[in-house]
Amino acid sequence: MVHAIPVKRALVAMVALAGVAVWQAPAASASVPLKDITHRYVGSAVAASYLASEPDYRAVLTREFDNVTPENEMKWGTIEAVRGQYDWSGADAIVRYAQAHHKTVRGHTLVWHSQLPDWVAALPAGELRRVLRDHITTEVKRYKGKIRAWDVVNEIFNEDGTRRDTVFQQKLGDGFVADVFRWAHAADPSATLYINDYNIEGKNPKSDAVYDLVKTLRRQGVPIGGVGVQAHLSIQYGFPEGYQANLKRLTSLGVDVAVTEADVRIPTPPDAAKLDTQASYFDQLWDGCQAVRKCVEFTAWGFTDRHSWVPDVFPGEGAACLFDADLKPKPAYTRINP
């Protein structure tokens, strides 16, 4: 396993973390942080509340990563749960943190059927289209120049490659996807715009559908710039077949790819064998991205088992992150960064 260590962008120069001098961060097994072993962006999903209340969490995040993705703070259900009443507090806090520590931000997510306020789903088609355009324009313009990449549409396909039957699909039809990319681009032409989905790591009907859609959108001149491969994996299933080849075929369309939400869940409690398998999966995800020139980002969906969505959604599974609940690096971390 070979990991290149090129000169890092000036954007991600090392900075001192203010306000936590009395706390000593847990020592990593490698002297070089993850963000400094590759020229790709290395990120994590984060929560504003943990940034504010947990100095140890903040310190490890600052040390290891140069990109952050708001886990929930930029979703419609958080931003505008009640029509016309906006709550930017969490999103603003994460963006301020990123700017203060010379990190980039991945915006997540503009159009998603989940965590969607009931009032949005109840709108008739014509009004839904206007509200959707206003939502995208308002949010993207607020952070214009501060967001490197946006997950514009999220999880729009079923496993068989058909379109998911969402309120947007029902009321606006297939064409809404091209529309939302154009609206987002108009609001911030500098941001790279992504389609994002899970179970598209390998070659299968779902990733075929993403490939075909991106190909069509590019031919139509739609400003789509990337495909986000979520990479929520489980050691109970085999590693996705054709992962690296799939990344390459997506980039052949002239777009970037990014691993956007990586975690590898294991049946709990963890043991040495399970953690070793998990490490192998993370290593394959990492190395596959490093091997594809236009795989520009590797982001984990949370970096510590202390704060992971997995146990709440997959009962009996967990321990899915690179660091344990005490913020000690796990075998997956040291496999990537020996």
Q: Which residues are annotated as catalytic?
A: 155, 261
- Enumerate the β-bridge partners of residue 297: 41, 258
For residues 94-122, b (16+ Cβ closer than 10 Å) or e, as one string?
bbebbeebebbbbbbbbbbbeebbeebee
Structure tokens at 299: 């982001």
Q: Are 218 and 176 in contact (CB under 8 A)?
A: no
H/E stretch holding 197 reads strand 192-197
Report d(CA 143, CA 146) in Å as an integer: 5
Instruction: For residue 46, list its beta bridge partners.
Output: 70
To 10 degrees, the CA torsion angle through 108, 131, 158, 199? Answer: -10
Secondary structure (3-state) at 301: coil
Report whether the peptide linkage leading into residue 269 is cis, meaning its omega lies within 30 degrees of zero. Answer: yes
Tokens of 101: 């520590």
Which of these, 88, 210, 223, lies nearest to 150 by C-alpha position? Answer: 223
